[in-house]
Amino acid sequence: MATEVKKYHTLVYGSPSGYQTNRAQIALYGKGGKTIAYIRFNDPGMHFENDSESGGQIKMHLPSTMFQSVLDVLRNEKPVYIYFAQGRGFLSTSKEPVGEGED
C-alpha cells in the first residue's frame, strides 16, 4: 500500500565514513507527522544495506548520486508516495498529463 508523503527533512553526514554506513538521509513523514520512511544514500565503496520495512517504516537505500534527484521530486511533485514491494522501496508520483508543466 502506498503512503502519501506530506513532509520531509534532510541530513547530510560529514567525515570520510559518514554515519552508520550512510552519507546522507531524507526522512519522510505522512499524515499527522508520522515517520513513514528513511531514504538513505551511500557513496561508492560504502556498505549498502538491503531495503526493508518494519513497524510501518520503510528504509530505502540509494547511491549518493541520486540525492539531488530525490530532492527534486520531493520539492516539485505533488502528490508523492512511498511504498515497499518485492523487497524494495519505491518513491513515486501519481499520473500526470504530458506537458502539464510546473506551478
19 part of a folded domain: yes
DSSP H helices in the chain: 67-76
pLDDT of residue 100: 67
pLDDT of residue 74: 96
15 part of a folded domain: yes
Cα Rg, the chain, nearest whole Å = 14
pTM of the model: 0.89
pLDDT of residue 49: 92
pLDDT of residue 2: 93
Supply the range of the domain harboring residue 77.
Answer: 3-93
- The pLDDT profile of the chain, 103 residues, written as one tens digit per residue, is 899 999 999 999 988 888 888 899 999 999 999 999 999 999 988 888 999 999 999 999 999 999 999 999 999 999 999 999 999 999 999 877 776 666 5
pLDDT of residue 16: 82
11 part of a folded domain: yes
98 part of a folded domain: no
Rounded to the nearest 10°, the torsion over CA 18, 67, 44, 41 is 50
101 part of a folded domain: no
* Number of domains comprising the chain: 1
100 part of a folded domain: no
102 part of a folded domain: no
